[in-house]
Amino acid sequence: MNELLREVVSEEIERLADVDERLRMLTVTAVLSEQDLSRATVLLSSAPAQALQGLQAQRRRLQRAVADQARLRRTPRLGFAADPSVAAGERVDAAIRRLHAADQPDLESGVRGAHSHQESSDIQDRDSAQPREVALRGLGSERSAVSGVVVVDKEAGWTSHDVVARCRKIFGLKRVGHAGTLDPDATGVLVVGLGRATRLLRFTGSQPKTYEADVVLGVGTSTLDSSGDVVAEIDMSEVPIDEVRAAAAALTGSILQVPPMVSALKVGGRRLHELAREGIEVEREARRVEVSRFDVDLAPEGRTTKGTQVLQIKVTCSSGTYVRSLAADLGALLGGCAHVRSLRRTSAGAFSLDEARRVGELSIADVLPPAAAMRGYTSVTVGPQEAAKVRSGRLLDRSDLQLSGDGPWSLLDALGDLLAVYGERGPDMVAPIVVLATPGDAPGTGGLG
């Protein structure tokens, strides 16, 4: 039960960190509940005063999350405190470093940086005769041991929520989420997280995505795609393709984009598409997005007798970019209107259609390990002593791990299982953002099996 509470509280803190920066870089190491469930103390790897203030301010939302997801006979009142075992361990580590820094800078032979990847590969090669499988453990009705990601080729007519609901049934899980909504009419890559790996979707979803679509110049719709009502028609059949490409170039790079009224973005606590269905339009603040690629060609059907012109586009853009808005903006720059049709996401970060499966074809064999969710980010293999610190959510010395760049970094054990994701904490230290493994996990399980 305490482990269930830890996971629920951890996930909710991660979500709340998007709106309250004081909660960032906090890691829940354990939850200790009273026998009668009257109270539960949330232990944190570190608890600065500002972070504790943020937790107190968000206490009600955390309580609701526990009530909704844990479904215990009684919802405990949450309290927060720094984990004393973590603080004691950090003091011991600091004392050891001070005593031995002069003559033994690499005292802990278990610490490895990027140079350890070859050793890790050797271990995996020796074990290759025994194929790795997704870990399956009996963890009771509240949790399932299946954890990882599946890459779905979403079909038209399915909402992203429909895919998540079906995956819950296929894998027998309650905890399933997706990284980046696709419209019901859109198809293509939808990365779905299962079990504990849902906590990693924030990293998967923040990576660039690539789309292919048709754009119809000369027809504007209420939804900016083919599902809406026609609201404008302008003869654009004679617009030269060179002008179209020049307009697309103007929409490339760092641009400001106003989210469409038919998006899932929330304004004042309500989703824009809900307001749009009620005929309400609200002011939306423009957001900066990155469009690194906007290629345009004339579609095979080309110019039509109805005064339209059909284009084929390929777009690579940052998370949060609306391709339908790009199509509408393209039409406006050319002095007319446009809408998108046949939108297909061909890649999301490092995941592509090559490994995607339709939801009806999914099986346990298609589940990728949690470490796959961190594709595109730097990974570092650590030894057993350092892995024990990671499982406890301890701060680590950046130089010991030979970390470069701005992070985040995936920390793996010797078998390649993901232990945690770490981020910067000042110039010299790194701190856990998400810890998947727990202190009681056996080495090599990644906390998942």
Q: 153, 183, 225, 417: which is the annotated catalytic residue?
A: 183
DSSP state of 357: B
Burial group, residue 103, by CB count within 10 angstroms (0-12, 13-18, 19+): exposed
Q: Which residue has the tokens 């939801």?
A: 359
Alpha-carbon radius of gyration of the chain: 25
Look at residues 208, 205, 231, 227 and name the one whose alpha carbon lies nearest to residue 219.
231
3-class DSSP assignment, residue 397: strand
Q: Which residue has the tokens 């470490």?
A: 371
Distance CA 165, CA 382 (A): 36
Q: How far is C-alpha 352 from the geometric centre of its chain's CA atoms?
A: 16
Q: Which residue has the tokens 């945690």?
A: 420
By the 8 A CB rule, do 204 and 319 touch? Answer: no
How many C-alpha atoms does 320 have within 13 Å on its Cβ side? 15
Distance CA 344, CA 326 (A): 15
Q: 255-258 — which CB contacts under 8 Å span 24+ positions?
A: 255/288, 255/289, 255/290, 255/291, 256/286, 256/287, 256/288, 256/289, 257/286, 257/287, 257/288, 257/289, 257/321, 257/322, 257/325, 257/326, 257/329, 258/284, 258/285, 258/286, 258/287, 258/325
Whether the link from the prior residue into 408 is cis, omega within 30° of 0, is yes
Torsion angle defined by CA atoms of residues 39, 40, 46 and 49, in that order, rounded to the nearest 10 degrees:
-20
Tell me, yes or no, if 183 is annotated catalytic. Answer: yes
Question: Which residues have a catalytic role annotated?
Answer: 183
